[in-house]
Homo-oligomer: A and B are copies of this chain.
Amino acid sequence: MVLLRSELGSVLRSNRLRQHRTLRDVSAAAKVSLGYLSEVERGQKEASSELLASICAALGTPLWTTLREVSDRLASHDGHWVPDTPDALFQDELAGVR
């Protein structure tokens, strides 16, 4: 069974790496400890709603696009095809990819 915290952590980590940012940088911006962020990214700790909001804000990616990406990944695990939606394009745009 794929758990929310594992997939969420993976999405947060990939969003951070896409921006070439360190755990230290993002944890400081989000005002969470480096160890906490690291555990959340590895799916070892549940992020509270408040700290998840802080982490998303620090990454500059809205919570809804983060959850959308998590949902898409879980759908893919479930064998559902997920199109490259305008929202996904929007998220890449936010991250400066396109």
Q: Which residues in A have some Cβ–Cβ distance to B below 8 Å?
A: 1, 3-6, 46, 48-50, 52-53, 62-65, 67-68, 70-72, 74-75, 77-78, 80, 87
Contact A4 B70 (CB under 8 A): no
| Smallest CB gap from A64: residue in B | B74
Instruction: Please tell me which one of the listed residues B3, B68, B70, B77 contacts residue A50 in the complex, with CB atoms under 8 A apart.
Output: B3
Distance between Cα atoms of A48 and B45 in the complex (Å): 10
Contact A49 B46 (CB under 8 A): yes
Query: Apart from A63-B74, A64-B77, A67-B74, what 14 extra A-B contacts exist at CB < 8 Å?
Result: A1-B53, A3-B49, A3-B50, A6-B49, A46-B46, A46-B48, A62-B74, A62-B78, A64-B71, A64-B72, A67-B67, A67-B71, A68-B75, A75-B87
Q: Which 10 A-B pairs have the closest CB atoms?
A: A64-B74, A3-B49, A67-B71, A68-B71, A4-B49, A64-B75, A5-B49, A64-B71, A67-B67, A63-B74
